Amino acid sequence: MIKVTGLEFTYPDGITALADISIDLSFDDDEHITAIVGPSGSGKTTLLQCLARFKTPGQGSIEIDGTPAISMSEAQFRSKVGVVFQNLNLFPHLNVLDNLTLAPVEVAGMDKKDAERQAMAMLERVGVGNLARSYPSQLSGGQAQRVAIARSLVLKPDYLLLDEPTSALDINTTNALAELLEDLHGSTNFIIVTHDIPFVRKVAKRAVLIQGGRVVSHDRVEEVMRLFLQ
Ligand SMILES: Nc1ncnc2c1ncn2[C@@H]1O[C@H](COP(=O)(O)OP(=O)(O)OP(=O)(O)O)[C@@H](O)[C@H]1O
Ligand SMILES: [Mg+2]
């Protein structure tokens, strides 16, 4: 479970993006995906950045499976929580395979050959095994999205945060991503920020509605949509 208590975040220019967020994000055998929705500017990306430890909240705390996030070492934290932001952040000078082996080899100290075997298996699993030797600039948006997700998954996080994963995808690629996330049931739990309501309805059972940096609802998807779309 990810437990967020009294989270507050204000940007240096004085804009308070997160006013007071308290929420328990728990997952079980039937529910491995939670969506976070809300109007533009409501604080969704800022919340993900705090959950990923890329921003330090002004107040409040985040616990990952009972351990305060701030007390975890970088390696310990990254083995629990992965994140794929909208710009994907693939390393442009490395091919796809090397993008996937860099952290396991350099950070986790994995043997290079083992890391390559694991990376190939993950690329196959997300359907882009044929692209291992391609460079990020040679990939389509959907292919790059899969590579970025695979790169996070090789670190075997318990939670994977995705920010607007379908924003650059057409309907077929979006449906393929939905299937991929469903297939990954049992591998990891997903927290997905998105404006794509049909996608939310397809993949998530529970959702969180954020408005003005506060949680307005955390409920079954249809309940949350009723509030959001009214
Ligand atoms: N780098 C920044 N500096 C100052 N203010 C920022 C910065 N990034 C975001 N904000 C402000 O913080 C608030 C929340 O922004 P955030 O990006 O978290 O919203 P969001 O819900 O992800 O929006 P969207 O749906 O448009 O992606 C907004 O008022 C925004 O203007
Ligand atoms: Mg955003």
Domains (range + CATH), the chain = 2-228 (3.40.50.300)
User: CA 29 from chain center: how many Å?
Assistant: 19
What are the helix and strand counts (H, E) for the chain?
8, 10
Q: What distance in angstroms lies between residue 46's CA and the mean position of ligand 2's atoms? A: 7
Mutate to test the pocket of ligand 1, among 8, 9, 45, 214 (most ligand atoms within 8 A of CB): 45
List, in sequence order, every residue forming a beta bridge with 178; answer none if it has no partner: none
Average pLDDT over residues 54-81: 95
Residue nearest to atom 24 of ligand 1 (CA): 40
Look at strands 189-193 and 159-163 and give their pairing. parallel
Q: What distance in angstroms lies between residue 165's CA and the mean position of ligand 2's atoms? A: 11
Look at strands 33-37 and 206-211 and give their pairing. parallel
Is residue 173 scored above 90 in pLDDT? Answer: no
Q: What distance in angstroms lies between residue 4's CA and the mean position of ligand 1's atoms? A: 19
Gap between the Cα atoms of 226 and 230, Å rounded? 6
* CA-to-CA separations, 25 to 4, 51, 56, 116, 140, in angstroms, rounded: 8, 11, 19, 33, 32
Average pLDDT over residues 97-101: 97
Is residue 186 scored above 90 in pLDDT? Answer: no
Closest CA to 102 of 159, 150, 144: 150
Residue nearest to atom 4 of ligand 1 (CA): 11
Ligand 1 site, CB within 6 A: 11, 13, 15, 17, 38, 40-46
User: How sure is the predictor about 187, in pLDDT bands with cuts at 50, 70 and 90?
Assistant: confident
Gap between the Cα atoms of 217 and 224, Å rounded? 6
Q: Which atom of ligand 1 is nearest to the CA of 49?
A: 18
pLDDT 10s digits, 204-217: 999 999 999 999 99
Average pLDDT over residues 96-106: 94
Name the closest ligand to CA 210: 1
Is residue 69 scored above 90 in pLDDT? Answer: yes
Mutate to test the pocket of ligand 1, among 7, 8, 9, 11 (most ligand atoms within 8 A of CB): 11
Mean pLDDT estimate for the chain: 94
